[in-house]
Structure 1
Amino acid sequence: MQLIISAGCILLIVLWGIFSPSSLSMVFETALASITKNFGWLYLWTVLGLVVFAFFLAFSRYGDLKLGNEDDEPEFSMGSWFSMLFAAGMGIGLVFWGVAEPISHYMTAPPGVLPGSPEAANAGMRYAFFHWGLHPWAVYGVVALAIAFFQYRREGKALISESISSLPWAPIRRMSGLFNVLAVIATAFGVAASLGMGALQINSGLHTVFGLAVSNSSQVCIILVTTSLFVTSAVTGVTKGIKILSSLNMIVALVLALFIFIIGPTVAIIDTLTNTLGSYLSEFIRMSLRMTPFRESQWVGGWTIFYWAWWISWSPFVGVFIARVSRGRTIREFIIGTVIAPSLAAFIWFSVFGGTALYMEIWQHVPIAAAVKLDASTALFTMFNAMPFGLIMSIVATLLVLVFFVTSGDSATLVLGIMSTGGNPDPSAKVKTIWGILVAGIAISLLLAGGLKAVQTATIVFALPFTMVILLMVIALWRAIREDWNEQQRQERELRRRLKQMTAQEPAKPL
């Protein structure tokens, strides 16, 4: 039933976008304006709360609890585990925005900062760290932890509703099916947002390398071809297709970043990382709660609130997927691996790509800002064209986006299949194929309805109801962790008492 309801709702929106893209765009834009104005604060407070909650769990006494039985061992090595969760969570976005976002903030700076100034460059890097650092990974980490905790310690299913159904409030428990449907819809649109951006950047890369025209028809063809690839990969399963592709792409991404670090402005990159990390930490709370109640500005809504909505819409997908590959890890290890480590990786990535782009824009007058203003998806290739071995790097980056596209798509089809079939950990190839086609249809319809802006708008709209679901999951997780911790402490006390009794009852050995 959940499969029929969620897939039916999504199909209606896809058809709407294909046959009447202008009306779909108008409705989403109206909804976006209302949500940004009236609920932007909710996104900010919720995501900051998740950061605090994640760090509290990691470094408190509860961090020793294991996701599973005490003798369970992780299924995947640390390297494979990190590669899969990183590829599923942020792969396409980092490649797309690594250059484009710092340059965008440099040109159109946050309120109170003069565009095109050194302060704007510093703010651009700081907000790139902010938008791709601890906050998004805390959203992923907490949702994934809730799913994994109830799945492996309470022997539940890999569903959003499993944690919420443990709450003592009957009206909430009766809505568990609705929560699963919301999770499926939020996931489908969140994944489509990234796939849409991936199609735009692959199109730009193919234009740079082979001269392929940048157009809607080209992007639709790219989505169709890559959809066939990630559906094929998803059918092969986690231990084969997803694991192999994720590990391969992490190696390619590391090699590309290291190459740019070496041939680019190395000292400037190190200085950028050092300076930006310091300002990010010092401005952490102010950025986390920044709104503009006394000035007309769409900057916070267009960037921070969009990103928080994007991460929230992705959280059920990434959460279920991370939970699927995380059995046997402690809460502390889990939070460090899903929040702190990937945040550090994102900081390094933006320092290398964003720092290089800003250096070339400011000191070498490479027209990267003009490229971003014209089409953000071309920013990376404009930077490569001004560097040695630019064509080779453009080819590698295009392949990188393509494989990230496939890993995100096949992970999404697996998770959507799991959530829409009552938590079945191995949904059929037919179900995966249906979801692959629907996700591709969403990306195509949103691109036709208004390109990247339509994709962003839909993400914010569909993330709002799931924000309330996440808050309920946090309450349920906190209650369950305390219960299990108290029970574990009781069992340990009982074991010590019995050992003490056994020692006392042993007869004294003769001299």
Structure 2
Amino acid sequence: MLERLQQRLGLQTIPGIFFTSAAVAIVFVALAVPFDEQVAGSFGVLTGWVARNLGWFYILAVSSLLIFLLGLAVSRYGSIRLGGDDSRPDYTNLTWFTMLFAAGIGTILMFWGVAEPVSHFASPPFDGVDSRSEQAATDAMTISLYHFGLHTWTIFAMPGLAIAYFAYRHNLPMRISSLFYPVLGDRAFGPLGWAIDVIAVLGTLFGVATSLGLGTLQLNSGLNYLFGIPTNGFVQVVLITMIASIAAVSVALGLDKGVRRLSQLNIILAMILILFVAVVGPTIFIAEGMVQSVGDYFDALPWLAFWTETFKETDWQRQWTLFYWAWTISWAPYVGIFIARISRGRTIREFVAGVLFAPTAFTLVWFGVFGLSAISVESSGQVALAEQVQEDPSVAIFAFLEAFPLAEVASALSVVIIVIFFTTSSDSASLVIDTLTRREEQPSRVRQRIFWAAAQGVVAATLLLAGGLEALQNVITSLGLPFCLLLLFMAVSLFRALRADYRGYDVTDLVKGRAFPEVEATESEPKQENNDVSKTADRY
């Protein structure tokens, strides 16, 4: 039946994945629109339960994955290439960085770059720290970097590395279910694998919809500041419709013509905004603060990475850390596949170093310029920044820019950057969801990519109308748990495959139990060239 429906609609998909994912999204929207309060309340209850009982699991899982990736990079497996042994990267380092960053957390940094440091500066999360004190400023920067630094990019790097490895080195389909082939065998290409891919599709859809919702709130605030446009649900739905339309055009153009050019343009505009604030703001204070923040971050990282508020029963960690981790984890399948698509030919060591440290360095600069400047503005009393952020965090960057010359010009530039970050996130996600829902030999139909771009907009609008920022946070925190489990299984599966690869075996040997016979050479012996790549893609 699904095959006939697909033919009538002119689609090229795996029907079990495409139609199941679409049906769940449609049912969610159909229930959330008339029963918005009940849906929002249900997710609120579920989020509270997850935070009380499994918050520690999120913290432990993400920190453990960071240690695992760093260990891989410095181990003997670090020299293995994501592709054949003679393959080389498809993109230059600069192009690679701009693409992975724009598809990652560009929208998030625009929203929280000012709001989070000011929030922690005015309301310190740690006992015994006075509001607006020197220690409060230090902690505010350290926590912000913890939330958006190595841990965030660990969540993106784990699936990205695993997908690139299995796709380019073993010719498996670029799909989340392929990562479980060393564990599931051919079952990864049947209904069980489809179920994994449906989870990945829904995580991507709701994760990106959350970002689009936050971006819309911020965009509405910027337009209100510049042109007096009211901030309400109707305007936000119109904005989402407009941005989804732009994303649909970009996604129709494809990866190289659409996403790459928008990503490069946005990095240029973001750098212009950074330079503007750095020059007209407290330049020396920013430079000194950035140097100190690096030391504070790495000094606090070992204990902060495993801090779980055990002896302080508050809701702070649920509202901040758990929300960030769950949100980022829900993005993991999408960003992971996108990063994998642009990372062929790099070694594991190059991949881990690039994906973890290059964006973290940019994050340090971003928070160094915007976060430290915002703390300076709040301390000097130029703008009642903390009060406005507490009332509505979406206005943070626009209220902050009021303290500088050419505020309207800078705010207009911020609006443009938000729109492009918004668009690159949406069109990148649409490309990835399309990849997850079709076979590799099937052509990518424009109508399929446009459908997923539209679906993201509809879900984002529904979440906003169902409760705004709180609804966005509750939904994503609740849905992050199954993806967190998937990340841990990915690490196990990747490590098993790398051990076999190092000894010259293929993943099919691993599945059939031939990779680690007792009579074979020990793992300390060098790997033989592996030309026996898996030919399982046609089984899907």
TM-score range, shorter chain: over 0.9
Q: Which moved further from structure 2: 255-264 or 424-433? A: 424-433
What amino acid maps onto 1:25 in structure 2?
A
Q: Distance in 2 between matches of 1:86 and 1:325?
A: 12
Identify if the C-alpha distance between structure 1 residues 170 and 415 changes in structure 2 by more than 3 Å, giving closer, same or farther.
Answer: closer
Could you tell me how far 1:492 is from its partner in structure 2? Answer: 6.2
Q: 1:158–1:424: 8 Å Cα contact kept in structure 2?
A: no
Q: Distance in 1 between matches of 2:158 and 2:456?
A: 25
Could you tell me how far 1:421 is from its partner in structure 2? Answer: 1.7
- Whether 1:93 aligns to 2:108 is yes
- Whether 1:46 aligns to 2:61 is yes
Q: Distance in 2 between matches of 1:285 and 1:135?
A: 12
Q: 1:117 matched to which residue of 2? A: 133
Q: 1:385 matched to which residue of 2? A: 402
Question: In the TM superposition, what whole-angstrom CA distance separates every residue of 1:217-257 from its partner, at most 9, and x where no partner exists?
Answer: 11110000000000110010101100000001011111110
Q: 1:221 matched to which residue of 2? A: 238
Could you tell me how far 1:169 is from its partner in structure 2? Answer: 7.5
Could you tell me how far 1:426 is from its partner in structure 2? Answer: 5.4
Q: 1:452 matched to which residue of 2? A: 469
Match of 2:325 among 300, 308, 322: 308
Identify if the C-alpha distance between structure 1 residues 415 and 372 changes in structure 2 by more than 3 Å, giving closer, same or farther.
Answer: same
The 5 Å alignment of 1:114-263 reads 114-167=130-183, 175-263=192-280
The percentage of counterpart residues that share the same residue type is 37
- Whether 1:359 aligns to 2:376 is yes
Q: 2:81–2:348: 8 Å Cα contact kept in structure 1?
A: yes
Question: In the TM superposition, what whole-angstrom CA distance separates every residue of 1:399-458 from its partner, at most 9, and x where no partner exists?
Answer: 000000000000011111111224568521111111111111110111011101111111
What amino acid maps onto 1:149 in structure 2?
Y
Could you tell me how far 1:156 is from its partner in structure 2? Answer: 0.8
Q: 2:445 matched to which residue of 1? A: 428
Q: 1:18–1:445: 8 Å Cα contact kept in structure 2?
A: yes
Q: 2:309 matched to which residue of 1? A: 292
Q: 1:159–1:423: 8 Å Cα contact kept in structure 2?
A: no
What amino acid maps onto 1:167 in structure 2?
V
Identify if the C-alpha distance between structure 1 residues 471 and 426 changes in structure 2 by more than 3 Å, giving closer, same or farther.
Answer: farther
Question: In the TM superposition, what whole-angstrom CA distance separates every residue of 1:364-414 from its partner, at most 9, and x where no partner exists?
Answer: 442111110121111101111110111110010000000000000000111
Q: 1:105 matched to which residue of 2? A: 120
Bigger proportion of residues as helix: 1
Q: Distance in 2 between matches of 1:200 and 1:433?
A: 23
- Whether 1:62 aligns to 2:55 is no
Q: 2:178–2:188: 8 Å Cα contact kept in structure 1?
A: no
Q: 1:29 matched to which residue of 2? A: 44
Q: Distance in 2 between matches of 1:375 and 1:347?
A: 24
Identify if the C-alpha distance between structure 1 residues 260 and 37 changes in structure 2 by more than 3 Å, giving closer, same or farther.
Answer: same
Question: In the TM superposition, what whole-angstrom CA distance separates every residue of 1:129-165 from its partner, at most 9, and x where no partner exists?
Answer: 0000000101101110000000000001110010112
Identify if the C-alpha distance between structure 1 residues 490 and 317 changes in structure 2 by more than 3 Å, giving closer, same or farther.
Answer: closer
What amino acid maps onto 1:46 in structure 2?
A
- Relative to the length of structure 2, the TM-score reads 0.89
The 5 Å alignment of 1:455-470 reads 455-470=472-487
Q: 1:418–1:426: 8 Å Cα contact kept in structure 2?
A: no
- Any idea what SS the aligned residue of 2:91 has? coil
Q: Distance in 1 between matches of 2:140 and 2:166?
A: 40
What amino acid maps onto 2:139 in structure 1?
A
- Whether 1:401 aligns to 2:422 is no
Identify if the C-alpha distance between structure 1 residues 492 and 233 changes in structure 2 by more than 3 Å, giving closer, same or farther.
Answer: closer
Q: Distance in 1 between matches of 2:224 and 2:216?
A: 12
- Whether 1:491 aligns to 2:528 is yes
Q: 1:185–1:462: 8 Å Cα contact kept in structure 2?
A: no
Q: Distance in 1 between matches of 2:414 and 2:388?
A: 17
Identify if the C-alpha distance between structure 1 residues 312 and 337 changes in structure 2 by more than 3 Å, giving closer, same or farther.
Answer: same
Q: Distance in 1 between matches of 2:443 and 2:260?
A: 16
Q: Distance in 1 between matches of 2:130 and 2:186?
A: 53
Q: 2:517 matched to which residue of 1? A: none
- Any idea what SS the aligned residue of 2:310 has? coil
Q: Distance in 1 between matches of 2:426 and 2:229?
A: 23
Could you tell me how far 1:115 is from its partner in structure 2? Answer: 3.0
Could you tell me how far 1:61 is from its partner in structure 2? Answer: 1.9
- Whether 1:276 aligns to 2:293 is yes
Q: Distance in 1 between matches of 2:396 and 2:64?
A: 34
Q: 2:326–2:480: 8 Å Cα contact kept in structure 1?
A: yes
Q: Distance in 2 between matches of 1:21 and 1:450?
A: 8
Question: In the TM superposition, what whole-angstrom CA distance separates every residue of 1:152-187 from its partner, at most 9, and x where no partner exists?
Answer: 000011100101122168988863221111111111
What amino acid maps onto 1:306 in structure 2?
F
Q: Which moved further from structure 2: 482-491 or 294-303? A: 482-491
Q: Distance in 1 between matches of 2:294 and 2:383?
A: 26
Identify if the C-alpha distance between structure 1 residues 425 and 87 changes in structure 2 by more than 3 Å, giving closer, same or farther.
Answer: farther
Q: 1:509 matched to which residue of 2? A: none
Regions of 4+ moved over 4 Å: 168-174, 423-426
What amino acid maps onto 1:40 in structure 2?
G
What amino acid maps onto 1:64 in structure 2?
S
- Relative to the length of structure 1, the TM-score reads 0.94
Question: In the TM superposition, what whole-angstrom CA distance separates every residue of 1:2-38 from its partner, at most 9, and x where no partner exists?
Answer: 1111111111112222221101110000000001111
The 5 Å alignment of 1:70-85 reads 70-85=85-100
What amino acid maps onto 1:415 in structure 2?
V
Identify if the C-alpha distance between structure 1 residues 478 and 277 changes in structure 2 by more than 3 Å, giving closer, same or farther.
Answer: same
- Any idea what SS the aligned residue of 1:69 has? coil
Identify if the C-alpha distance between structure 1 residues 373 and 463 changes in structure 2 by more than 3 Å, giving closer, same or farther.
Answer: same
Q: 1:2–1:180: 8 Å Cα contact kept in structure 2?
A: yes
